């Protein structure tokens, strides 16, 4: 064999990305060893198998995408055939595994978690339907998923709750989120509870809704305080948890700044070049009556619980971002990406104008 071909072999051996090293061997909390292979990206294998309940939702799609890019095999439980189709091309062949499920069917839940070493529960609803009220999804459903996961011997469970989860909240959504957390912890002691603030991103119900229905964000004279957080930051936190030991704690993920709805209305109006809404602030009783009447139709419209939530400041809990190794980004960094579509054609590429940030609440003595 010539010296040049030997040199080429040596060079290939050095450059070979797929070779395994000692650090590729990971021992899961269940003591099961797994071996990763290849560089991160398409065709990589981390050796982890993850189930994401609620994968078909807003946060779910970004989590599945991040997990798939790492080379993790993802089980995606779905209810509607069409709702999971966009997730399939996020990974290599066989990496994204759809499985039909019903939140009331324990056998199907057990099938979905059978081979996983970590299970995420992102299932939640911000409005009640005829078939599922808040309790059946966020309390009974959450408990059932956690219990079956524990019984199946899966070592790690991550439950996504809400920053404002509180047993004493006036909102049924926040109340059931708090109750759900307790029921999950009762059946899966080491569960990690994630409490994100209101999420913004392409499919959000925050910036999009403000752009379309500014009138409903003027409730409470738009003085309600909110701590919006980028959906990508929360998805990154969840994806990082796959590689960290079970946290067994509650992790609050509020956005980095506390803002008012008034500021968000100004932000969306400035970025979209739409004139600020001149609609008056609707009194609470009227808004509740309208929301109640809107429940007569079969598609989701403003619900009475949503009206109540518009009057509740986001919890003043400190963020646990340092624990999870992610720095949350400010809403101004990303907002244009999500609201540019509301600009008219002639304004589409005009420069971004930001309204002045309100003075920090401690300076004006607001607090919660
Ligand atoms: N979005 C926010 O601003 C925000 C803020 C804080 C916390 N969270 C929490 O974060 C989690 C994810 O939020 P998201 O915005 O991604 O929610 P989302 O877009 O509404 O998605 C909810 C997910 O839950 C599933 N789901 C709802 N009801 C179900 C039921 N009865 N049976 C089975 N699956 C059901 C949905 O499945 P289908 O597609 O089949 O309907 C979907 O996959 C939720 O727990 C939410 O409460 C959200």
- For the stretch 166-213, pLDDT in tens is 999 999 999 999 999 999 999 999 999 999 999 999 999 999 999 999
pLDDT given at position 65: 96
Please work out whether the CB of residue 247 comes within 6 Å of at least one atom of ligand 1: no
**Nearest atom, ligand 1, residue 56 CA:** 43
**How do residues 212-224 score in pLDDT, each as one tens digit?**
999 999 999 999 9
77 strand-pairing partners: 99
CA-to-CA distance for 199 and 177, rounded, in angstroms? 16
Does the beta carbon of 202 sit less than 6 angstroms from any atom of ligand 1? no
Ligand 1 contacts CB of residue 121 (under 6 A): no
Distance from first CA to last CA of the chain, Å, rounded?
Answer: 77
What's the pLDDT score for residue 6? Answer: 58
Distance from the CA of 316 to the center of ligand 1, in angstroms?
Answer: 23
Decide whether any atom of ligand 1 lies within 6 Å of the 198 Cβ.
yes
Rounded (to 5) percent helix, strand, coil in the chain: 40, 15, 45
Check if the beta carbon of residue 331 is closer than 8 Å to that of residue 255: yes
Query: Which residues of the chain have a pLDDT value below 70?
Result: 1-20, 38-42, 246-247, 359-368
363: helix, coil or strand? coil
Q: How far is C-alpha 109 from the chain's CA centre?
A: 21
Hey, which residues does 75 pair with through a beta bridge?
51, 97
Residue 312 Cα to ligand 1 middle (Å): 20
C-beta of residue 90 within 8 angstroms of C-beta of residue 96: yes
Give the whole-angstrom CA distance, residue 232 versus residue 201.
Answer: 8
CA distance 221 to 333: 26
Q: Which residues pair with 57 in a beta bridge?
A: none
| Angstrom distance (rounded) from CA 364 to CA 127 | 35
Rounded CA separation 335/267 (Å): 8
The Cβ of residue 2 has, within 10 Å, a number of other Cβ atoms equal to 7
Task: Tell me, using a 6 A CB cutoff, whether residue 125 lines ligand 1.
Answer: yes
Contact 45, 37 (CB under 8 A): yes
Rounded to a whole number of angstroms, the CA Rg of the chain reads: 23
Q: Alpha helix (H) ranges present in 36-169?
A: 58-70, 106-113, 134-135, 142-151
Task: Please report the pLDDT score of residue 45 as a whole number.
Answer: 84
For ligand 1, say whether the CB of 159 is within 6 Å of any of its atoms: no
Closest atom, ligand 1, to C-alpha of 163: 6
CA distance 311 to 306: 9
Query: How big is the chain, counted in residues?
Result: 368
**Euclidean distance between CA atoms 81 and 100, whole angstroms:** 8
């Amino acid at each position: 064999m010539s010296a040049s071909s030997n040199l080429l072999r040596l060079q290939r051996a050095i450059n070979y990305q797929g070779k395994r090293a000692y650090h590729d061997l990971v021992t899961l909390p269940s003591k099961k060893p797994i071996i990763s292979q290849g560089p991160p990206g398409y065709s990589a294998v981390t050796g982890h198998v993850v189930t994401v309940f609620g994968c078909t939702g807003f946060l779910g799609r970004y989590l599945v995408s991040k997990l798939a890019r790492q080379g993790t095999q993802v089980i995606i439980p779905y209810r509607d055939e069409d709702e999971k189709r966009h997730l399939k091309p996020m990974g290599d062949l066989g990496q994204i595994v759809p499985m039909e499920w019903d939140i009331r069917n324990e056998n199907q839940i057990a099938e979905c978690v059978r081979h996983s070493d970590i299970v995420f529960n992102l299932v939640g609803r911000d409005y009640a339907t005829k078939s599922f009220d808040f309790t059946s999804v966020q309390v009974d459903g959450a408990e059932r998923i956690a219990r079956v996961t524990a019984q199946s011997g899966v070592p790690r469970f991550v439950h996504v709750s809400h920053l404002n989860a509180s047993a004493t909240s006036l909102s049924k959504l926040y109340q059931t989120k708090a109750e759900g957390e307790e029921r999950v912890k009762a059946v899966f002691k080491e569960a990690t509870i994630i409490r994100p603030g209101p999420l913004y991103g392409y499919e959000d119900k925050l910036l999009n809704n403000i752009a379309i229905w500014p009138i409903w964000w003027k409730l409470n004279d738009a003085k309600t305080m909110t701590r919006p957080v980028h959906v990508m930051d929360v998805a990154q936190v969840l994806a990082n948890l796959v590689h960290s030991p079970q946290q067994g704690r509650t992790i609050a993920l509020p956005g980095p700044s506390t803002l008012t709805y008034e500021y968000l209305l100004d932000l969306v109006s400035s970025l979209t070049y739409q004139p600020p809404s001149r609609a008056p602030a609707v009194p609470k009783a009227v808004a509740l009556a309208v929301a109640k009447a809107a429940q007569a139709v079969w598609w989701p419209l403003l619900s009475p619980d949503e009206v109540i939530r518009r009057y509740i400041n986001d919890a003043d809990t400190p963020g646990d971002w340092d624990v999870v190794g992610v720095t949350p980004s400010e809403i101004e960094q990303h907002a244009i990406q999500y609201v540019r579509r509301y600009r008219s054609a002639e304004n589409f590429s005009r420069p971004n104008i930001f309204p002045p940030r309100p003075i920090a609440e401690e300076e004006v003595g607001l607090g919660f």
